[in-house]
Amino acid sequence: MIIFPIIIIISLVLYVYYKVAIVKSKDGLIQSYFNAKSRICLGSFIFFYGVNQYIYYLSRFSLIIGIIFIFFGGLQLYRGFREVKHYRSEWKRLNPAE
Q: Give 10-31 pLDDT, tens digit per residue.
A: 999 999 999 999 999 998 889 9
35-75 pLDDT, tens digit per residue, is: 999 999 999 999 999 999 888 888 888 889 999 999 999 99
Q: Say how far apart CA 4 and CA 55 lie, in whole Å.
A: 10
Q: Write down the domain spans for the chain.
A: 2-94
Which of 87, 53, 56 lies closest to 70 in space, CA to CA?
A: 53
- pTM > 0.85: yes
Say how many residues make up the chain: 98
Using alpha carbons, list the distances in angstroms from residue 85 to 75, 81, 82, 88.
16, 6, 5, 5
